[in-house]
Amino acid sequence: MCRWALWMAVVAAFGAAAEPLSDTPTPDPALVRGDLQVWAWNIAAGSLNKLVPGFNEVFPNCRVNVHMSGANLQSRFLLSLSAGVGAPDISQLQIREAPRYSITGKLADLTDVAKKYETMFPASFWQDCVYQGRIYAIPWDMGPCAVFYKRPLFDRYGIHPEAIETWDDYIAAGKELVARSHGKTRMLCLATGSLGDFFELLAQQNNAQIFDAQGRVAINSPEMLDVFMLLKKMFESGIGANIAAWGPEFMASLKADSVATYPTAAWFGGTIRDYAPDTSGSWGVFRLPAFCPGGLRTSNLGGSVLVIPDQGTQKYAAWKYIEYALCTPAPQIEQYRSFELFPALTTTHGDPFFDEDVPFFGGQKVRRLFSMDIEKIPPMVRTTDWMEAMRYISQALSKWATGGLEDPAVLLGRLEDKLSRRLNRAIAP
C-alpha cells in the first residue's frame, strides 16, 4: 500500500517537475495546505522553528516540521535529489554550494515568484542563486565581515582600533601587541591548516577571483597576488597564533588572553555568545582593514540559502514559507535578534534594530557597522566545482605556509595549472 502511494508521489512529482513555480494570485491563505518538511542545521534550524508560529498566523493550515538532522545531511540530500524521492520540501544550503545544485535542474524554478525580490538582496549574494537567468535559491543570512576584538586586551597594551585602517596598519598593531605582551597575546589565529575561510574572506574583499565569468581558471591575477602577499606578510610578522580554527583550543581562546582579534563574519557573534557568555560587554568590533587606504572595508564569508527540491509535491506551500521567513523584514530581524543570523534582506538594514546599542559589545552599534557598504562587496564567481577548487587551494595554502612561504607568484602559477588540470577548465588569458 505504501509503495503505491510512493508511486503516485513519484508520478505526481514528475508531472509537476516541468513547470516553474507560477505566481498565480495568492489564494486565500487558509486554503494553502501543507505538511512541510524542512532540513536545516544547528542554529539555523532553531531559528526557522521559531518563525513557525508567526507563519501559522497567516497560513493556519500549513504545518512546518524543521528537522535538525545532523547525520550525513549532504549525502542524504544528494541521494534523494538523485533518486527523485525522499528530499524535503525545503532545504538549507550554504551559499557556496548553491551554484552546484542550481545547475542540476532538480531544484524548483522560483523565477516567477521570486523575481520581485531581486533588488532586495545584495548583488554578490543574488548571483549565486541564479543560473542562466533562472532563480533557484533564496538568500537567507549572509556574513558581512569585520574584526571582533577584546577590549581589555587592546586597552591593556595600548592598541587603538580607530587607528587601524589598512591591513598594513593591522599588522603593525599586531607586532606592537605581541611585543608589549611579550608574546603572550597574538593578534589573530592563523593556523596553517585552516586558512581556507580567511583566504576566501580576503579574496572576496579584494575582488580576487578564482574563476572568471566564463568559468575559466583566473586565479593568477594581480588581485590574488595581493592576497597571497598579505598572507605571507602576516605569517612573517609573527602576529598569528598557530591555533586551528574551530578546534578546542580555538574555542578556549575566546575566553582566554591568547588571541586578541578575530577577523571574520557577523555570525561569529553568535558563536562567541554561545561559548563565552560571561565575556559579555568586553568585546568590540572594528571595520575590516582595507587593502589600501580608502579601499573596501568589508567582505562576505558564509551565509546560507533555502531551496525547494523539484520533486516536492507541496512547492507552493513551501514557497510561501520561504517568502515569509526570508523575504519579509520582521522574521528576518527576529532571526538576527535571537540567533545572530545577519539578514541578507537589505530592506531590513534600515530598521532601527540595527542602530541599537548592543550590550554584548560594550554598547557599540555593531549591527550598523556590519551593514555598511554591503552593496559594494564584489560578487565572487562560483562555479559548480567551487567546493572542490577551495579544497585544492586550502591544501596548497597549507603546504605553502608550512613549507617556507615561497614566492607567491610562483605558487599562483602552479595553482593555476593544478586547478586547470584537476577541474578540466581552461586558463583565462
> 99 vs 269, which CB is nearer to other proteins?
99
Nearest-angstrom CA–CA distance, 36 and 39: 10
Is 106 an interacting residue with respect to other proteins (CB under 8 A)? yes
Query: b/e map of 266-277 (b: 16 or more CB within 10 Å)?
Result: bbbbbbbeeebe
Is 3 an interacting residue with respect to other proteins (CB under 8 A)? yes
Q: Which of 42, 119, 214, 402 binds other proteins (CB under 8 A)?
A: 42
Q: Which of 16, 54, 63, 68 binds other proteins (CB under 8 A)?
A: 68
Q: How many CA atoms lie within 13 A of 337 on its CB side?
A: 15
> 26 vs 82, which CB is nearer to other proteins?
82
SS3 94: strand
Q: How far is the CB of 74 from other proteins (least distance, A)?
A: 6
Nearest-angstrom CA–CA distance, 176 and 182: 10
**At 356, phi and psi to the nearest 5?**
-75, 155
Is 384 an interacting residue with respect to other proteins (CB under 8 A)? yes
CA distances from 273 to 28, 48, 101, 359, 389 (A): 41, 19, 33, 12, 32
Q: How many CA atoms lie within 13 A of 280 on its CB side?
A: 8
Q: Which of 53, 70, 222, 404 binds other proteins (CB under 8 A)?
A: 70
> 282 vs 384, which CB is nearer to other proteins?
384
Nearest-angstrom CA–CA distance, 82 and 270: 34
Number of residues lying near other proteins (CB under 8 A)? 35
Q: Which of 20, 54, 86, 196 binds other proteins (CB under 8 A)?
A: 86
> 76 vs 233, which CB is nearer to other proteins?
76
Spatial CA neighbour of 381 closest among 126, 211, 218, 142 = 211
Q: Which of 16, 17, 94, 103 binds other proteins (CB under 8 A)?
A: 103
Instruction: Write down how long the chain is.
Output: 429
Is 395 an interacting residue with respect to other proteins (CB under 8 A)? yes
Is 78 an interacting residue with respect to other proteins (CB under 8 A)? yes
Q: How far is the CB of 60 from other proteins (least distance, A)?
A: 26
Regarding beta strands 130-131 and 134-135, do their DSSP bridges make them parallel or antiparallel, or are they unpaired? antiparallel
Q: How far is the CB of 170 from other proteins (least distance, A)?
A: 31
> What burial class does residue 30 get, using C-beta atoms within 10 Å of its C-beta: 0-12 exposed, 13-18 middle, 19+ buried?
exposed
Residues 398-427 that bind other proteins (CB under 8 A): 421-422, 424
Is 22 an interacting residue with respect to other proteins (CB under 8 A)? no
- Sign of the torsion angle spanned by Cα atoms 412, 98, 275, 171: positive
Q: How far is the CB of 18 from other proteins (least distance, A)?
A: 17
Is 81 an interacting residue with respect to other proteins (CB under 8 A)? yes
Point out which span in 84-92, 149-157, 287-295, 374-382 binds other proteins (CB under 8 A): 84-92
CA distances from 29 to 49, 57, 58, 162, 370 (A): 20, 10, 7, 51, 36
Q: How far is the CB of 212 from other proteins (least distance, A)?
A: 20
Q: Which of 8, 30, 58, 79 binds other proteins (CB under 8 A)?
A: 79
Q: What is the DSSP string of 14-26?
A: HHHHTSPPP-PPP
Q: Which of 7, 236, 406, 414 binds other proteins (CB under 8 A)?
A: 7
The residues of the shown chain that bind other proteins, judged by CB under 8 A, are 2-3, 6-7, 10, 42, 68-72, 74-76, 78-87, 101, 103-106, 384, 388, 395, 421-422, 424
